Structure 1
């Protein structure tokens, strides 16, 4: 039988962060209901096999996140009102991609001033023509709760040059769709779970190597790639919905 210590040792995270993740999950799954008192300190110490100091550190983190409050002499309670959580339902069609992009705020981190080539390998199968020069951005998409999506975007220069100001100040997909939607002949997307690198971790205020969902996406006009983007979203924000009867 696997012991708690063996489970904890599998993670490079500090022990109190692992314990905080357990507590956070209990709240998310409604095992610790809103307004309810959480189990006593000594009970948690015994159940989890950790020290009192570790549990207190975990409580401190959850308190700063607005999930719990501690009352001297009466215990620790789940807050009645919990912070609004960010969620992003990953698009599965071009139309969903456009709709999602329309809802996002965007902040440009860097923008190319010179012609840029597409990466020689897009990180996904793409049998179409990838030559030519592209405009390039690194961006972060935001909501009222802060940054949650890091992107790198390549847009063919001949497409960009027709409406540069529109592309510079908004997300690319909706503009591309409004101007060239009927011309788009191929569009594919690949989802992979990876670890956040230095650029995305800095942009999203994450620790390095935090699990993120990576989306790679391209679109073509004719047989030529005119748009390629790579996005990273922390996995805790990601949702995917499927209609299991759609193809029946």
Structure 2
């Protein structure tokens, strides 16, 4: 019990949400399959070391998600699986990144010119003189899957306000013939949804997100595009062939054909 208590104390997330997360994972991984009767309230109360009301709240949350069904006099049964298919694979080269975003359906929710300069690491180039801030939500099958917070160099935005207001900025930048991009720094981290992101993605405050930072640097060393993208955790996966283009893979192929 003491160990569980210390684990709970590490998070500020309400207890019932923490318990529901563990139970949801059991359904997701097949530990509990559809049709299974899950542990009783008494068993779950003892296992998780929390009050029965907390267990009831966790089950109610899963019930609202369509994952379990409580049947009077019989118990609680698994009735579904989490509705995510990890359809989005993060690009690991610039061309793929462009192809992923060029046809995205997006909604601009905020545009502000001449904003405070974004924070930049030394490796990410120097700041432009001025930036325009653009926040947008990207949709897939009518559901929001990412929030993009973009600082775009003001001189680029001024070239075609109409296009940058209504379309994804990245493809538009690439099409500018007089602009040369020499670096595209991408960093992937795991974060949590702040109030703005949670509201736009229709998820709970503090839920995990996959966060991607993309910085484009021109041939003058200026960071012309600084984007922080927050992906809904249920759509995201990173799939990479670790042997692709590696000496080990090449050697293996050589042996196979020898």
Could you say which TM-score interval applies, normalised by the shorter chain? 0.7 to 0.9
Structure 1 residues 147-156 or 208-217, which shifts more?
208-217
Quick check: 1:169 aligned with 2:166? yes
CA deviation profile, 1:193-237 (whole Å, cap 9, x unmatched): 344444334433455444433322111332233222112234454
Residue 236 (structure 2) aligns with? 238
Structure 1 residues 55 and 168, CA, compared in 2 at 3 Å: closer, same or farther?
same
How far 1:69 moved relative to its partner?
1.4
CA apart distance, 1:31: 0.5
- Is the CA contact 1:187–1:220 (under 8 Å) kept in the aligned structure 2? yes
TM-score, L = length of structure 2: 0.80
- Separation (CA, whole Å) in 1 of partners of 2:240 and 2:178: 25
2: CA distance between counterparts of 1:72 and 1:66? 17
- Listed one character per residue, the Cα deviations across residues 156-175 of structure 1 (whole Å, up to 9, x for unaligned) are 34433443322211221223
Distance in 2 separating the partners of 1:181 and 1:192: 33
1:43 aligns to what? 43
- Equivalent-residue separation in structure 1 for 2:209 and 2:122 (angstroms): 21
Distance 1:181 1:11 in 2: 50
| Alignment partners' CA distance in 2, 1:162 and 1:204 | 30
Mean Cα deviation higher: 24-33 or 83-92: 83-92
Give the TM-score, by structure 1 length.
0.83
User: Is the CA contact 1:210–1:234 (under 8 Å) kept in the aligned structure 2?
Assistant: no
Q: Which residue among 102, 106, 130 is the counterpart of 1:133?
A: 130
Quick one: distance in 2 between partners of 1:18 and 1:129?
A: 42
Runs (5+) with no aligned partner, structure 2? 248-258
Deviating runs (4+, > 6 A) in structure 1?
Answer: none
SS in 2 for 1:3: helix
Alignment partner for residue 204 of structure 1, among 189, 201, 206?
201
Q: Which moved more, 1:74-83 or 1:52-61?
A: 74-83
Question: 1:143 maps to what in 2?
Answer: 140
Q: What's 1:25 paired with?
A: 25
Check the 8 A contact 1:117/1:132 in 2, yes or no: no
Match status 1:101 vs 2:111: no
Matches within 5 A, 1:178-197: 178-180=175-177, 183-197=180-194
Q: Which residue of 2 aligns with 1:9?
A: 9
2-structure distance, mates of 1:99, 1:138: 20
- In the TM superposition, residue 27 of structure 1 has moved relative to its aligned partner by 0.7
Distance 1:60 1:191 in 2: 34
Residues 40-72 of structure 1: CA deviation (Å, up to 9, x unaligned): 332222222233322221111001011111222
Aligned CA distance change for structure 1 residues 50 and 135 (closer, same or farther; 3 Å): closer
Give RMSD over aligned pairs. 2.8
SS, match of residue 7 in structure 1:
helix
| Alignment match, 1:118 | 117
More displaced 10-residue stretch of structure 1: 82-91 or 94-103: 82-91
